Chain A
């Protein structure tokens, strides 16, 4: 009989680079920065790592991690699962420890995006026929925003206000974070009047495109005690993958993402979470666009359907609110190097649970969540990971 992952693995060290336009750093530099911070945090050396997972969308093997961290002839697997790449690398690493085959493993995520010449992420290539409409991510999520306003009867300007409030919040949180790509506050006015990218999404509705890397060291709760007292425990690992249902089935509504609700259900069940808004202290979610964060708040059960704008404008998800969403600035301000983002989110949750989040520190948090979402409305990969402070 299958068992829950709850309390079966612990995180004893994490690292995360500053995200941003790291023109002077290559992929190897970024991994070295993140992995060696994680090793130092855990009090380990690279020779202590028994197996590793590398999450990146650019590349094809596990070898770049071995080369960067000088891991000597150990198993390394490269993982790619859209924007949930790092979360899935972490998930696979956790299961290897839970299976009892390794004691200490490493999960790393990295992306060097700024060498590509792209100011945003590229649109769908369309495979060999090249017929897919050029729909880069802002366009895809704008489809959801348009439908959301239509379905719930919001005037365009009212929805825009709620979306702007998300950007203002994430910029505020980012301004408190020295590792964030963007560390500047913005006003509602700035967010609302910013140049249009994909109607109704403007510049401040879109996340940054950044270089960066993050890493985690995972072991068993029994071994964790020998390394540190403030380790964190994995409480739930949810992952679901869409099969283009939303594109093939015209009953799909474009105002919720089924992958979110199903991945959250898995993770909540494993973690024993019944009332997520009350029980979870902070959540790092995949705010690739403001509308995505809004829909996530409903999909993950923190706001009723159609009501997220009220909750957002009411400050429920502010740093001091009932459930702080994206206390580190989120993808919006921390940045989004695709294959690193999931572990960057976990880095903030880990630091918050340890009480080491500086000016962003929540009061005595016990449960934190990281959420990654990759793909487009109609077909996503979604990962929901829940962490708890040591009992």
Chain B
């Protein structure tokens, strides 16, 4: 029987909220740092989902989002490589709809059922960007969810699914624009959201013979808190059984939103519980998720999950910082030097183990771990006798650091860190998501996949250090 065998999430550490000057609202929403995007969040959620599991067993990957970095160039191939998955796997991006997450969910499920994949990973992530001061900005959030599907050891099964399509221009983003547009509210919600959700849930109940009271939890996508409450009334769900959609804490994370709520529900679930999951976008998806006795075991995997990530947060100091991070407001960067060129795709391709997988090597003779990979051992001079070792998920400690006040990056002072890995080896990396006051020699660090820069039309991704979350 095919089902969910693990799950995970990622929420950026940053929140717009009470602690943010000029944000103008007590309600919090999550926002990505300037060096994060859909792709980096997908890598983080995938790592959370696969914590404690064999990454090489994954044989399929669907990456869902409405905000991919490239028009042509797959995100899933980068996520697979940075996630240190194997290379003989099927990868696909699923995009263009807010429903992309549940669409990928269905595709992964179907592929395991059909036997074309044994361990299929799904990630869903979005950076929700609206015009400055718009409702979309205020109610939005950034985040990611991930699920691993398989045919053994299921923590939850998908008992039924139903989809409806509704051709409508309610929220949309034309090619080349970064902010989501919206038609008039009353039309958008009455003819779009509420209509599709109502139809989809009614048809699912008819199809399965289930009644609303048979669900232990109801998980609903909604553009904002008001429409969420309207949808709950419309489908006659018991408000006590409705999963908290986290408006005012996380915000609407687009393609990831419903699935991040499902992760929360699974983190808290008991065995043999039935969840209704409803997602929206160009129609609607409804799923019946049913937990098994295995759920308690799977809950114990070493993931941070929604609970861990939501608890770990920092306030964006100023709304202007947020605008700068999103490129909506440009401050003088302090850079006084000519701009550099882009990276070489040939070099990036060649050095993938170092750059994306963040693999070092361990000498088979003297056991010294070295990063980046070497041909000749720095200690015993043994040649070409190494075993690759993934360091991206190794704990690390700060050996020394400096803070560059004229770096010209959005996070001046730029913290440069020399870190020593618990697994052995040393690396010099930028530090992100840090408060300069907490930076101290011997502090505990972990790695996080980030976008270094966009140059020559190439999004250059690599790893940074960050204080342990």
Contacts A122-B337, A199-B405, A250-B424; A150 near B343 (Cβ below 8 A): no
- Contact check: which of A122, A131, A247 meets B426 at CB < 8 Å? A247
Establish whether residues A139 and B404, one from each chain, have CB atoms under 8 Å apart when the complex forms. yes
1/0 contact string of B368-390 vs chain A (CB within 8 Å): 10110010001100000000000
Please name all residues of chain B whose beta carbon is closer than 8 Å to the beta carbon of A117 when the two chains form the complex: 337-338
Choose from A198, A248, A252, A254 the contact partner of B370 (Cβ within 8 Å).
A248
Residues in chain B near residue A378, CB distance under 8 A: 428
Tell me, yes or no, whether B441 is within 8 Å of chain A by CB: yes
A-B pairs with beta carbons under 8 A, tally: 132
Known: A128-B344, A147-B441. A134 touches B414 (CB 8 A): yes
Instruction: Say whether B416 contacts A127, CB under 8 Å.
Output: no
A270 → chain B, closest Cβ, in Å?
27
With contact pairs A129-B351, A130-B452, A249-B379 given, residues A146 and B429 touching in the complex (Cβ less than 8 Å): no
- Whether A129 and B343, one on each chain, are in contact in the complex, defined by CB atoms closer than 8 angstroms, is yes
Partner of B455, one of A130, A136, A199: A130
Question: Measured between alpha carbons, how far is A140 from B416 in the docked complex, in Å?
Answer: 9
Interface residue? A133 (CB, 8 A): yes
Q: Which residues of chain A come closer than 8 Å to B355, judged between CB atoms?
A: 129, 131
A249 to B409, CA, bound (A): 29
Contacts A143-B418, A198-B402: A248 and B337 contacting too (C-beta < 8 A)? no
Residue from A128, A140, A147, A199 in contact with B348 in the complex, judged by beta carbons closer than 8 Å: A128
Query: A143–B402 contact, CB under 8 A?
Result: yes
A193 at the interface (CB under 8 A from B): no
Task: Check A147/B430 contact, CB under 8 A, given A117-B337, A122-B337, A128-B344.
Answer: no
- Given A133-B429, A250-B424, A254-B418, do A125 and B340 touch, yes or no (CB 8 Å)? yes
Question: Quick check: A119 and B424 within 8 Å, CB to CB?
Answer: no
Is B111 on the interface with A (CB-CB < 8 A)?
no
CA distance A245 to B379 in the complex (A): 8
Contacts of A74 in B (CB 8 A): none
Contact B404 A138 (CB under 8 A): yes
Bound CA span A181–B386, Å? 50
Q: Does B23 contact A (CB under 8 A)?
A: no
Give, as a whole number of angstroms, the nearest-CB distance from A208 to chain B. 15
Write the B334-350 contact mask toward A (1 if CB under 8 angstroms, else 0): 00111010111011101
Please tell me if B407 contacts chain A, counting CB pairs below 8 Å: yes
**Taking the complex as formed, is A195 at the interface, i.e. its CB lies under 8 A from any CB of chain B?**
yes
A130 with B460, Cβ < 8 A, contacts A139-B416, A250-B424 known: yes
Interface residue range, chain B: 35 or more
Residues of B within 8 A of A135 (CB): 404, 416, 428
The answer to whether A40 has its CB under 8 Å from any CB of chain B is no
Q: Is the CB of B378 within 8 A of A131?
A: no
Chain A: minimal CB distance from B227 (Å): 43
CB distance from A31 to the nearest CB of B (A): 25
Q: Are B336 and A131 in contact (CB under 8 A)?
A: no
CA–CA, A135 to B428, complex, Å? 10
Q: Which residues of B contact A133 (CB under 8 A)?
A: 414, 416, 428-430
CA distance A252 to B425 in the complex (A): 11
**In chain B, what residue has the closest Cβ to A255?**
B400
Docked-complex contact B452 and A150, CB < 8 angstroms: no
Which listed residue (B344, B351, B400, B426) contacts A147, Cβ 8 A? B400
B210 at the A/B interface (Cβ < 8 Å)? no
Verify if A196 is at the interface (C-beta below 8 Å from B).
yes
A sample of 20 inter-chain contacts (CB < 8 A) reads A117-B338, A128-B343, A129-B460, A130-B340, A130-B342, A131-B343, A132-B428, A134-B430, A135-B404, A139-B414, A142-B402, A146-B400, A150-B400, A195-B405, A198-B413, A199-B402, A247-B426, A248-B425, A249-B368, A250-B426
Given A117-B337, A198-B406, 12 more contacts at CB 8 Å? A117-B338, A118-B337, A120-B406, A129-B347, A130-B343, A133-B428, A139-B414, A150-B400, A199-B405, A243-B378, A245-B378, A254-B418
